[in-house]
Chains A and B, each alone.
Chain A
Amino acid sequence: MKVTIQNWHSIFAWHWDVPGDEVCGICRVAFDGTCPVCKFPGDQCPIGKFFDCLFCFVILRSHVGHVLTFCPAIGSCHHSFHMHCILKWLDTDTSKGLCPMCRQIFTLENSNNKEVFEALSGRPSPLEEGILEQEGTPV
């Protein structure tokens, strides 16, 4: 028997480098799922078009549009959230810029996330210079 492959699709699996049962502290959905605003990855996601998330798999870079949606924002207090969720919270007056979990000023731990944060929120990240050394951790 002779088989001719005419077309093929590569399939991959991925997940965030966070414990499997960890969920976003705001929407309580697993990080591998979307935040409540983004029902379909890439589709309703209004942001992220021009940004590359170095936090992610290289292979996902071609899907940058929705990668940012999934990007867990990890604060220097080590509490993590969907990027969308924490941005939305920090945008409210009630938040006073504080982490929902520990009420410390929310600063991003990851330098790549810092750029993403600034690009998305249109304001400087509250991250202090001193903690910029930490590199992104691809899964």
Chain B
Amino acid sequence: MSQLPKRIIKESQRLISDPVPGITAVPHEDNLRYFQVTIQGPKESPYQDGLFKLELYLPDDYPMVAPKVRFLTKIYHPNIDRLGRICLDVLKKNWSPALQIRTILLSIQALLSAPNPDDPLSNEVAEHWKRDEQDAIATAKEYTKLYATEQ
């Protein structure tokens, strides 16, 4: 593997020295481009009290391309599919090299507070959300309790 770019080193250091509230991101010791991430479910969302695990990978072309991020913890959300893939504009067409790991993780945290069933990745969940939002939220809470809460 080629030498780690300075930018990645700086970002990793800052994530540890000055962490974002409710978010942790730790580089894997064998591969410093691979991060184990946790995000706390935002208050007043169906994900409250949940702790969600994600993986984040910085491709070779980073920061010209966005980090690859995926939920590992099962989650019921219209913009996150069964494989944990996330539909978020800044991860795809609205990526900019001025963004960074911390801002991307903040955007994902915000996505948990504001599900967007009109731009779904998971059609079934989005349909559920549009048909009966209260019921969909109840399912999301149930998932949070089942899969994202430490027993």
The interface of chain A, by Cβ under 8 A from chain B, is 25-29, 36, 85, 88-89, 92, 94, 98, 100-101, 103
* B130 close to chain A: CB less than 8 A: no
Interface residues of B in 1-19 (CB under 8 A from A): 5-7, 10-11
Q: CA separation between A98 and B96, bound complex, in Å?
A: 9
Whether B117 is near chain A, meaning CB under 8 Å from some CB there, is: no
Is B97 positioned at the interface, with any CB of A under 8 Å from its CB?
A: yes
Residue ID in chain B nearest A88 by CB atoms: B64
Contact indicator A29/B98 (Cβ below 8 Å): no
A45 to nearest B CB, angstroms? 17
Interface size on B, residues (CB 8 A): 13
Interface residues of B (CB under 8 A from A): 5-7, 10-11, 63-65, 93, 95-98
Is B7 a contact partner of A29 (Cβ separation < 8 A)?
yes
Let me know if A27 and B6 touch, CB within 8 A.
yes
User: When the two chains form their complex, are residues A36 and B65 in contact, meaning their CB atoms are under 8 A apart?
Assistant: no
Contact A100 B65 (CB under 8 A): no
Tell whether A27 pairs with B96 under 8 Å between CB atoms, given A92-B64, A92-B65. no
Find out whether the CB atom of A94 lies under 8 angstroms from the CB atom of B5: no
Distance A98 CA – B93 CA, assembled complex (angstroms): 12
Q: Is A89 touching B97 in the complex (CB atoms < 8 A)?
A: yes
Instruction: Point out the residue from A85, A94, A101 that lies within 8 Å of B95, measured CB to CB.
Output: A94
From B10, B64, B65, B95, residue with most partner A Cβ within 10 Å: B64
